[in-house]
Amino acid sequence: MKTLRFLIIVLSLSLVFPSCDDLLDTDIDNQYIEKDDNDLSNPNDSVFSLFGILAEMQKLGSQYVILGELRGDLVDVTNYSDKYLREINEFNISSKNPYIDVRPFYTVINNCNYVIENMDTLASKGALLPDYAAAVRVRAWTYLQLLKNYSYVRYSEKPIENVEDALNPDFYPIVSKDEIIDKLIDQLLKVHHVPGPLRYVDAIDMKYMIPTADFLLGELYLWQDKYTEAATYYKQVMEKGNYGYLCSDTYYPIEYYVSGGVRVSWGDIFSPTATNINNSNLVEVMAGMYYHATYGYENELPKLFVDDYKLKPSSASINYWYDQQTNIYINGNIYGDFRSYVSWKRGSQLSRAKDKTTTDAYINKFGYDSTNTAMGRLILERASLVHLRYAEAVNRLGKPTLALAALNYGVKKTVLENPLYVNQSEVAEKTYITNFDHTLYNTTAGVRGRVDLKPITIPSTVVTTKDSMLYVEDMILKEAALEMAYEGNRWGDLVRVALRRFDDADSPNIDYLANIVAEKFTNTGGLMSSTPSADAETIKAKLRNKENFFIPFPEE
């Protein structure tokens, strides 16, 4: 059980949900462990238990991206896509679709439950507490993915340790989403102060493999529309980082420059090499799924996007970049936004595809380096995402120009005190979430500013505060599409905002999500048009029903 290949010590039951009456059907052979064989008061066993959790989490990488992107407007199917990817793309998902399988999620959760229940956090003078806290954070992240994607969620904090538990239909009861979020917040707050594990896998610092408590708390509060709390924790990410320093400048800035005057390109964020993983681009990345040639499981994303060419960038996503005012030419090709060149490439460069040929675009954002032990990574948390989320939260607090400052120029004293940039009434009361006076914020450049794009301004025709908020929220979503494309965030972002618009008592908008996603299913023209993969009106009709925002939990 302690082999590096599988990196697993804790229970790894194969969970399926065939019906409400028969919750857990298992292949019993070798599926549960004896507690006496796994003493979680021992540091060595603690190491393997955490490795096991992270290895199982690696398996979720491609599923995380498929569920987080394919239903949105940025990713489309190709001629090589299987029928199950097409089902997801067209919101016609069958219960047998392997990409909606919840078993990998619950395997991670069950492993975390085992560690949380059995680890002795007082042993070895508290040396195991970081591993315990890591399991709490991974469990919270995993439940959050279920909450974002499925119609309802089955919840348990107890590990399945025997056949009786596995066959008990009440072991994972259905719990309301709000109640689950409340539970996760409470659990995270209890370990909020605990640092990450001080261990390495090869040369990769393990703490960067674990979602951070501050970011998770921001996410959970944002999904509850508790905007002050969300903004508070996103700002704490900027200030604290994984090292506990005061502000974001040294570790998570929105800028090109890092300490020592070394210039770092935006594209370096996604470099697969071990050198960059552990040095220059850690100024941007707080957490991700790291893949290694020897340890754990394979990074399937290059295969998905390149080797097998099953998914590609939508024409709508490429046209979003072309719509930017900066026309950048590289090797004779036009890229309207520098980030476009890093995110996708033209099909003529599709050299790794084994037997696939195309003249279309392919996604290039998930690095693969065959000459290095590093096998790329899937970034889960990075600086731009924090600033975009912070902007989303403060905008909903009635501070749209403060939100735009985070996009355009960066949240810093000189910007926030300039009435040309920020309405001074929005920052007149200097609270924690509006105070960026510390000099370490001075080099923050803004999400658009650091890629030299024209600032977004609120049109003069937009007069009321509410209309300004709605306009800025649209701009934040658009900027997120440009900055975070293909990384697994898009569908959750769209749904979170669409639910607010759908349920707006004053001016409900049931077409909001439908209209955005429909862009993928129209021949949008521009510099990258393509044949639609489905009928736009059919897709719109489905997305006017918010029940279709979520995948039915696969129990039948």
CATH assignment at residue 102: 1.25.40.390
* Burial label, 78 (beta-carbon count in 10 A; 0-12, 13-18, 19+): middle
Residues in the chain: 556
Quick check: 28 pLDDT over 60? no
Taking only the tens place, the pLDDT of each residue in 249-258 is: 344 444 444 4
Distance CA 409, CA 402 (A): 10
Residues 397 and 324 in one domain: no
Distance CA 66, CA 2 (A): 31
- Flag whether 335 is in a domain: yes
Q: Which residues touch 40 (CB under 8 Å, ≥6 apart)?
A: 46, 49, 115, 118, 119, 120, 128
- Residue 491 in tokens: 């569908």
Residues 164 and 41 in one domain: yes
Residues 405 and 504 in one domain: yes
Handedness of CA 335, 265, 238, 495 (dihedral sign): positive
Pairing state between β 333-335 and 285-292: unpaired
- Flag whether 209 is in a domain: no
Where is mean pLDDT largest: 297-301, 373-377, 423-427?
423-427
Which of 165, 198, 231 lies at the terminal end of a domain, its last residue?
198
- Residue 177 in tokens: 């989403």
Residue 216 and residue 186 in contact, taking contact as beta carbons nearer than 8 Å: no
- Flag whether 246 is in a domain: no
Residues 149 and 191 in one domain: yes
Residues 354 and 393 in one domain: no
Quick one: pLDDT band at residue 11, thresholds 50, 70, 90?
very low
Distance CA 406, CA 475 (A): 12
DSSP character at residue 19 = -
Which of 198, 217, 237 lies at the terminal end of a domain, its last residue?
198
Residues 460 and 545 in one domain: yes
- Flag whether 280 is in a domain: no
Residues 18 and 126 in one domain: yes
Alpha carbon distance, N-terminus to C-terminus of the chain: 33
Residues 334 and 392 in one domain: no
Mean pLDDT score, 309-313:
92
Distance CA 228, CA 500 (A): 16
- Flag whether 97 is in a domain: yes
Residue 248 and residue 238 in contact, taking contact as beta carbons nearer than 8 Å: yes
Mean pLDDT score, 48-53:
86
How many Cβ atoms are within 10 Å of 102's Cβ, its own excluded? 22
pTM listed for this prediction: 0.88
Distance CA 73, CA 257 (A): 32
Quick one: pLDDT band at residue 121, thresholds 50, 70, 90?
confident
- Flag whether 12 is in a domain: yes
Range of the domain at 388: 383-549
Pairing state between β 374-382 and 328-330: unpaired
Residues 359 and 429 in one domain: no
Which of 175, 198, 221 lies at the terminal end of a domain, its last residue?
198
Residues 139 and 175 in one domain: yes
- Flag whether 204 is in a domain: no
Residues 15 and 160 in one domain: yes
- Flag whether 128 is in a domain: yes
Quick one: pLDDT band at residue 538, thresholds 50, 70, 90?
very high
When divided into structural domains, the chain yields a total of: 3
Residues 417 and 472 in one domain: yes
pLDDT of 196 reads: 86
